[in-house]
Amino acid sequence: MLGEVQLRQLTERALGASSADETEVLVIADESALTRFANSAIHQNVFESGIEIRVRAVLGTRIGVATTNSTDERALREVVERAVVSARLAPETPDFRSLPGPQPIPQAATFSGATAVYTPERRARDVKAVCDEAISNGLEASGAWSMSQSEVAVANSRGVWAFNARTHASFKTVIMGPTSSGYAERDGLDATAIDVGAAGREAIDKAVRSRDPIAIEPGDYTVVLEPYAVGTMLDYFGGIGLGALAVQEGRSFMNDHFGERLLGPNVTLWDDGLDPRGAPMPFDFEGVPKQRVTFFEKGVARDVVYDSYTAGRENRHSTGHGLPAPNSWGPVPLNMFLGEGDASRDDLVRGVERGLWVTRFHYVNVVHPTKAILTGMTRDGTFLIERGEITRPVHNLRFTQSVLEALSCVEAIGRDAMMLQDEWSGTHVPALRISRFSFSSATEF
């Protein structure tokens, strides 16, 4: 890794080489390692180190972007020149105001030295322990134990300088038997704080309990969704409708509904890039500090996230949710939180006369964006709830369900939330009991 001083020098050299009216340099350097296992043995084990230098050149309102992964002087000059040439050829972008100006960058704890020095041998021993326990239960273990350290630096000709060093560790496992499977995941910035063994035991327990599932008819059920399922659902929900570009283009379920109650009064959903319970990142890829944005307050639609371009269109400030330029997706929430409730695990199933317990979803996709309808499969532990108790494992089902409708009939919210993280996004969510959830078809496994 290069460190803040070297990265600052690198960005200053690139900015100094630019003839554009405004120039932005975004550098992402990372080292990542991933140990992958299947059939209770390591079968893939990788390490990669890389760097990307991304230059956005602005001439008036003409914009061009170029990248390189070489840091020598010639490459830096060339990447700046390629961005400038592109900008020169681009038509005007009338809605573009300017690159962001400098703002104080808040502090956030994002780096663990222990993660940075975790060895492949240690990962292998962790994995072997989970595999051995799976085998001793007559099961097979698969999964990935990954960790990375990254440096993100943003500098622009208006004086922005933002630097962050971060680590991420993630253990995910699927434990499988002939007729069953179970899943567990743990994420955090400190690899040594992740209890791999506990995750393995959680998945093994689920795989044992989901043996010999019975067939069940598709239809509407009361469901208890574990945080894994809730997190996946919210990731899609945020992606399709909680960014300003979707609203400005009329593609969001938020359009014409700000100030209205769209979700249940017990649902509050927000984005906070600084909350240490999530996966904090103090600024976005334009170097703008993260603001907390409330999407739904007690079910009432409040706001969406902005980057500098979408904010400029409405004469407001970016909320710090810009992605690397050029960004056709628009701003997206990367640090979502769903407010916890007070329900224990037993409380979530108590009172359910007949329903389903869903561990996680698989291969989810958007069916209808303005109605927030998603489809996908259940996976790795789906159970029948009868008279307030989990009774039998069931075959997996396909759901086709509006998230808006699901979050309008939340009956109970778990008191314990999980942080589920991908490389750049973290979602902090509890389990939910939803009174009506539609399953459109079933499988035979």
Partner 1 sequence: MRDFVERALNVAQLHGAAYADVRVEEHHVQSVSTKNGMVDALLDEESQGFGVRALADGAWGFAASAVLTMAEIERVAEMAVAIARASSLAKRTDVDLAPVTVEHGSYRTPVQIDPFSISLESKIALLLQADAAMRAVPGLAIAEGSLQCLRSVKTFASTAGSYLEQEIVETGAGIVATAVGDGEVQQRSYPNSFGRHQGTAGWEIVETMDLVANAPRIAEQAMALLSAPECEPDVTTVIIDPTQVALQVHESCGHAVELDRVLGMEAAYAGTSFLTPDRLGMRYGSEHVNVVADATVAQGLGTFGWDDEGVPAAVTPLIRSGEFVDYLTSRETASRFGKPSNGTMRAESWSRLPLIRMTNINLLPGPWRFENLIADTDRGLYVETNRSWSIDDRRLNFQFGTEIAWEIVGGKLGRMVRNPSYAGITPEFWNSCDAICSEWQMWGVTNCGKGQPSQSMHVGHGAAAARFRNVRVGIA
Q: Give the footprint of partner 1 on residues 51-80 (CB under 8 A).
A: 51-52, 63-70, 79
197: helix, coil or strand?
helix
Tell me 191's DSSP state. G
Residue 49 contacts partner 1 per CB under 8 A: yes
6 Cβ neighbours under 8 A, 6+ residues apart: none
Q: Which amino acid is at 370?
A: T
CA angle 240, 359, 218 (to 5 degrees): 80
Applying CB under 8 A, among 102, 351, 369, 388 the residue interacting with partner 1 is: 369
Position among 8, 77, 82, 211 found at the interface with partner 1 (CB under 8 A): 82
**Distance between CA atoms of residues 264 and 434, nearest Å:** 10
Segment interacting with partner 1 (CB under 8 A) among 3-11, 285-293, 336-344, 363-371: 363-371
- Chain center to CA of 133: 30
Residue 418 touching partner 1 (CB under 8 A):
no
Residue 92 amino acid letter: E
Question: Which is it for the CA torsion 246, 252, 256, 257, positive or negative?
Answer: negative
In the bound complex, what is the minimum distance in angstroms from residue 230's beta carbon to partner 1?
18
Site string for partner 1, 147-186 (x = CB under 8 A): -------------------------xxx-x----------
Q: Least distance from C-beta 236 to partner 1, angstroms?
A: 11
Using rule CB under 8 A, residue 47 touches partner 1: yes
Q: How far is the CB of 270 from partner 1 (least distance, A)?
A: 25
CA-nearest of 423, 363, 425 to 170 is 423
Q: Which two tokens stand for residue 356?
A: 């389903």
Q: Which is nearer to partner 1, 208 or 345 (CB)?
A: 208
Separation CA 366–CA 236 (nearest Å): 8
Name the DSSP class of 241. Answer: H
Residue from the set 208, 366, 390, 404 that interacts with partner 1 by CB under 8 A: 366
| Interface with partner 1, residue 241, by CB under 8 A | no
Interface residue with partner 1 among 6, 32, 391, 435 (CB under 8 A) is 32
Task: Name the residue nearer to partner 1 (CB basis): 63 or 305.
Answer: 63
Q: Which conformational region is residue 323 in: left (phi greater than 0), alpha (psi within -120 to 50 degrees), or beta?
A: beta
- DSSP code for 192: G
* Sole binder of partner 1 in the list 195, 249, 314, 389 (CB under 8 A): 249
> How distant, in Å, are the alpha carbons of 82, 261, 268, 400, 437 from that of 408?
50, 9, 11, 16, 11
Considering only 3, 16, 73, 93, the residue that binds partner 1 (CB under 8 A) is 93
Number of residues this chain uses to bind partner 1 (CB under 8 A): 90
Among 7, 10, 11, 37, binds partner 1 (CB under 8 A): 37
Question: According to the binding rule CB under 8 A, does residue 107 interact with partner 1?
Answer: no
Q: How far is CA 341 from CA 334, 361, 416, 429, in A?
A: 22, 22, 8, 10
Instruction: Lay out the site mask for partner 1 across 381-410 (x = CB under 8 A, - = otherwise).
Output: ---------------x-x-x----------
Q: Check binding of 326 to partner 1 (CB under 8 A).
A: yes
Q: Which stretch binds partner 1 (CB under 8 A): 98-106, 258-266, 364-372, 411-419?
A: 364-372
Could you say whether residue 136 binds partner 1 (CB under 8 A)? Answer: no
Residue closer to partner 1 by CB (options 67, 192) is 67
Q: Are 96 and 308 in contact (CB under 8 A)?
A: no
